[in-house]
Structure 1
Amino acid sequence: MELPLLYATIGVASVVLALLSRRLRSLPVTEPLVGLVLGIVLARAGILGGSGALGWTEAQRDTLLLESSRLLLAASVMAAALRFSTGTLRDLVRPVAWMLLVVMPLAAVISGALSLTLGLPLALAAVVGACLSPTDPVLAASVVTGDVAEKSLPQRLRALLTAESGANDGLALPLVAIAASLALTARHPGEEALHLAWQVLGAVAIGVVAGVATAAGRRRASREHDLAAGPRLVLTLLLALATLGLARLAGTDGVLAIFVAGVAYGARTDRSTREEQDMVDEAVNRYAVVPFFAVVGAALPWADWAALGPPLALVAVGILLLRRLPTVLLMAPALGLDRREAAFAGWFGPMGVSAVFSVFHARDQGVDDPRLVAVGMFLVACSTVVHGTTAAPFVRLFARVAGSRSP
């Protein structure tokens, strides 16, 4: 009975969330938070994981979370790439570059340094820091999308958070690979540098070709009336899946390739088609997170957390407060943000699906210390709760402060 009960529970929760989707954006609740709590409850009841019918071994858990997070990231970064026009994204090249080249590496250093207080070896702390450095596009979407966000937040701020979260998930993988190589000493430094360069440059090339070719194919199919309305709506999801497969076959960074493919496709697609397809991508992404975070909630390593003790909670507080907020505030002029916008952008750098993917990617590369999963999953759980409950109130606070400063 466990499997039908699981389907029913997650399905009913998703239906309720869909029916309340507009109102949900004004409440301190997000779909990932609901999924996380649901997974914890189901695991404690023995329905998902543990001793239930869906119990898994450690290897099965790792594979399930790695591949499901990979697919969810594929959909979410494609949605991020399509959310704003190419002109809007082009205007953000400089601030996004600052976020990727300064804020993200410093986030990795700060997170790794704080992790050292748990007694982790330097190399393992570096892996933890790299895994926690990117901004999650799934959790970030709950902040920058919806009627409330569109009315309360400047478009440029929403676009900056979207572009950063879409781009830095792919670029975080080289950081993870560098940190993992320090932990494993698996490759010669020269070989590792060539491998990382190919991961990034190859991903960009594959993304550009896939995006441009798909846009050209869509235009021709539309002229010849070969493309039906239904398939047209899911074309970008199919593009994301195809790009992911091609990038992985070529040994490049699949997540980065998908974001580039989305941007290239959007640049050669009319606005109405792009917005229509983005709406479908966002809807799929928004409700796919419920079963994903239910699995995350069921897989939380409570025993490993207990072994690390109270310092783990203190490290989590430090990472949430210091990982990017001070850096973004200091860099506000370079980012073209005022202090209020910088505080908002600095706070909302959530850790979620991208961190789960990075943690289990590092595991797949051979970093098998259980403390990596323990620390990484604790921060994902904390970020899901903290950023999920503060998103709607902080958006409203941003709007009130902006209104009070208006002439």
Structure 2
Amino acid sequence: MTTDLLLLVGGLIALGVAALSERLRRLPVSEPLLGLLAGIALGPAVAGLLDVRPLTEDHTWLHTATRLLLAISVMAVALRYPLGAVRSRIRPVVILLAVAMPLMAVITAGLSAWVLGVGLGAAVLLGAALCPTDPVLASSVVTGGPAEEDLPARDRQVLSLESGANDGLALPLVLGAVAIAGPLTGAEAALESLWQVAGAVAVGLLTGWLGGRALRAGEEHGSTDPGPLALFTAVLAFTVLGLSGLMHVDGVLAVFVCGLTFNGVSTGSERTSDVPIDEAVNRFLVLPLFIGVGAALPWEAWADLGWRGPVLAVAVLLLRRLPVLLALRRPLRLGWPDALYMGWFGPIGVSALFYLALEAKRLAVDPTVLAAGSLVVVASVVVHGVTAAPGRVAYRSAARHGSDARTEAAPDRSR
């Protein structure tokens, strides 16, 4: 009953999303927000039609569901742009991964310790889980006609690539947090991180190269039909995820590396065919997940947090990323409107839920971590979903105003 109803409601919302299409991108709403609101309405807190236990009590399904959705999402990111464009954005993406992401983890951990009054272990678990920028929520900001009209290609590409790469590369931070909070030693965490990341890169490179070569060979011999071709990378993503699980390496990172490698090996026509399918799957698969999350929100655990929960959510949304991007504005070569926009739109979503569930799976995590973490995720889904469209319009206005001001200030050399 629960699964059938979830699929039915998710399908009905997906039909509405498909019908509205680009018009929805111009409204202060997103697919994850629609799913979340539907889950709340159907869940035990309101209608009681979806009878599920709170996330703080049952999180086993969450790890699997988010892992599958992240695989599709990071594959879509890897295929979204030509490889030449990806190479041109390496410098800012590396800065965001190597400098901004650890700083965001430290800031979030500090805010968690200060606001919630939790110990070091719980604070670093929250910091590590909430630091990555989510590719699923970010896709509603950087894709579609309105985004292409309002935002420069550089900003959209950097946000996309950062969100695709940092989901997998946040794992060493999470393992370090597990070492601080649990029985895992620092040396064990370092060795596991090395194996997970290095193994993921190797698996991704090999499978991406094999997939690209196989598809090119099939095209050359006329044996690949357009239908299977369009779904090829979605199937490839799940294949890589399964192989990574068997080898105990970072599956999300492996899929992202596989997608980039496939992007380089395959032809431009193959990438063009696969991108719309991956984007569509990413856009619609998010609905059942967030319906389930909305139904399983831990309202009682949130109430136990008292005023500290909302204060933490506001503090994290305002201080986790925006000050870091403003401080790195010059190294990132961003103007003020770009730094403000990219600093604000670093949403927290599916990747955070994935790592919160992973932490709970690895050790007996404090329920406060799941309660506070899920509250921050929901706050991000709501706030970033509501402000995405107005934020793009505000950026366009600010950028245009700055361009007009520079034009007026420039000396007239026509005389």
TM-score tier by shorter-chain length is over 0.9
Asked if the contact 2:25/2:146 (under 8 Å) is kept, the reply is yes
Q: Distance in 2 between matches of 1:215 and 1:5?
A: 39
Aligned to 2:166: 168
Aligned to 1:112: 109
| Superposed CA offset, 1:376-395 (max 9, x none) | 10011000000000000010
1:281-296 pair list within 5 angstroms: 281-296=278-293
Change (3 A) 1:367 1:104: farther
Asked if the contact 1:247/1:257 (under 8 Å) is kept, the reply is yes
Asked if the contact 1:183/1:367 (under 8 Å) is kept, the reply is no
| Superposed CA offset, 1:198-248 (max 9, x none) | 111111111011101100000001112221111100111111111111111
Which range is displaced more, 366-375 or 104-113?
A: 366-375
Q: Distance in 2 between matches of 1:185 and 1:322?
A: 31
Aligned AA (1:127): L
Asked if the contact 1:132/1:355 (under 8 Å) is kept, the reply is yes
SS of the equivalent of 1:45 reads: coil
After TM superposition, give the deviation of residue 297 of structure 1 in Å. Answer: 0.6
Aligned AA (2:157): A
1:8-407 pair list within 5 angstroms: 8-43=8-43, 44-49=46-51, 55-56=52-53, 61-116=58-113, 117-186=115-184, 188-406=185-403, 407=407
After TM superposition, give the deviation of residue 3 of structure 1 in Å. Answer: 5.6
After TM superposition, give the deviation of residue 271 of structure 1 in Å. Answer: 2.1
After TM superposition, give the deviation of residue 58 of structure 1 in Å. Answer: 6.5
After TM superposition, give the deviation of residue 94 of structure 1 in Å. Answer: 1.3
After TM superposition, give the deviation of residue 368 of structure 1 in Å. Answer: 2.5
Asked if the contact 1:130/1:172 (under 8 Å) is kept, the reply is yes
Asked if the contact 2:322/2:343 (under 8 Å) is kept, the reply is yes
Aligned AA (2:258): A
Change (3 A) 1:210 1:379: same
Q: Structure 2: state its 5+ residue gaps.
A: 408-415
Q: Distance in 2 between matches of 1:344 and 1:360?
A: 30
| Superposed CA offset, 1:102-138 (max 9, x none) | 1111111111111112121111110000000000000
After TM superposition, give the deviation of residue 61 of structure 1 in Å. Answer: 3.3
Q: Distance in 2 between matches of 1:74 and 1:2?
A: 25
Aligned AA (1:125): A
Aligned to 2:412: none
Change (3 A) 1:174 1:119: same
Q: Distance in 1 between matches of 2:216 and 2:330?
A: 41
Aligned AA (1:151): E
Q: Distance in 2 between matches of 1:211 and 1:384?
A: 32
After TM superposition, give the deviation of residue 2 of structure 1 in Å. Answer: 5.9
After TM superposition, give the deviation of residue 403 of structure 1 in Å. Answer: 2.2
Change (3 A) 1:182 1:3: closer
Q: Distance in 1 between matches of 2:271 and 2:138?
A: 20
The TM-score normalised by the length of structure 2 is 0.94
Q: Distance in 1 between matches of 2:171 and 2:270?
A: 31
Which range is displaced more, 264-273 or 327-336?
A: 264-273
Q: Distance in 2 between matches of 1:313 and 1:58?
A: 18
Change (3 A) 1:2 1:78: closer
Q: Distance in 1 between matches of 2:36 and 2:272?
A: 29
After TM superposition, give the deviation of residue 404 of structure 1 in Å. Answer: 2.4
Q: Distance in 2 between matches of 1:9 and 1:237?
A: 23
Q: Structure 1: state its 5+ residue gaps.
A: 50-54
Aligned AA (2:42): L
After TM superposition, give the deviation of residue 5 of structure 1 in Å. Answer: 4.4
After TM superposition, give the deviation of residue 369 of structure 1 in Å. Answer: 1.4
Asked if the contact 1:85/1:266 (under 8 Å) is kept, the reply is yes
Q: Distance in 2 between matches of 1:398 and 1:31?
A: 22
After TM superposition, give the deviation of residue 59 of structure 1 in Å. Answer: 9.1
Asked if the contact 1:180/1:367 (under 8 Å) is kept, the reply is no
Change (3 A) 1:7 1:15: same
Aligned AA (1:160): V
Asked if the contact 1:6/1:47 (under 8 Å) is kept, the reply is no
The aligned length equals 401
